[in-house]
Structure 1
Amino acid sequence: MEWMIGLGALVSFAGIAGLIWCVLLALQARKTAADEDDMRSRLQRVVILNMAALGVSALGLMIVVSGILLS
């Protein structure tokens, strides 16, 4: 089950990369937003992406734990 551990690590890494991307999007929205409504709408999209990236990362960790338990 070593392949599950590797796959889970890749999925977790993709989720962490997504979280970093969300931070960069939030910082960009903070710098370039014209008004509060524009910034609010941008940050609402970032929150959705953030939750998706967190879910992907958690799924990867579950795959890693499953691979370890099945070894």
Structure 2
Amino acid sequence: MMEFLVWAGAALSLMGLAGLIWSIVKVISARRKTQDDAELRAAVQAVLPWNMGALFVSVLGLMLVILGIFLG
């Protein structure tokens, strides 16, 4: 059972990492496309909730990994 927690946590952490990479790519592409500061600010504000959600998923995954190791 504890091995399942470790693997599930690792999968969640990888999903969170993928979300963080996606948000970085979106902001970099928006930065290259636009010259207007207001448009760039709007693009970053649109990506910010996804970035925070991905960070939260990654933290939850790491907590599951630690919990699985601690209990196992």
TM-score of the aligned structures, taking structure 1 as reference length: 0.93
- State the superposition RMSD in angstroms: 1.0
Residue 41 (structure 1) aligned with residue 57 (structure 2)? no
Q: Percent identity?
A: 44
SS of the equivalent of 2:30 reads helix
Equivalent residue letter for 2:68:
G
| Amino acid of the structure 2 residue aligned with 1:19 | L
TM-score by length of 2: 0.92
The amino acid across from 2:34 in the alignment is: A
Q: What SS does structure 2 have at the residue aligned with 1:18?
A: helix
* Corresponding position of 2:12: 11
Q: Hey, what does 2:33 align to over in structure 1?
A: 32
Q: List structure 1 runs of 4+ shifted beyond 3 angstroms.
A: none
Count residues with an aligned counterpart. 71
1:7-57 CA distance string (max 9 Å, x none): 000000000011110110010110112521111110011222111111110
Distance 1:41 1:33 in 2: 11
Structure 1, unaligned runs of 5 or more: none
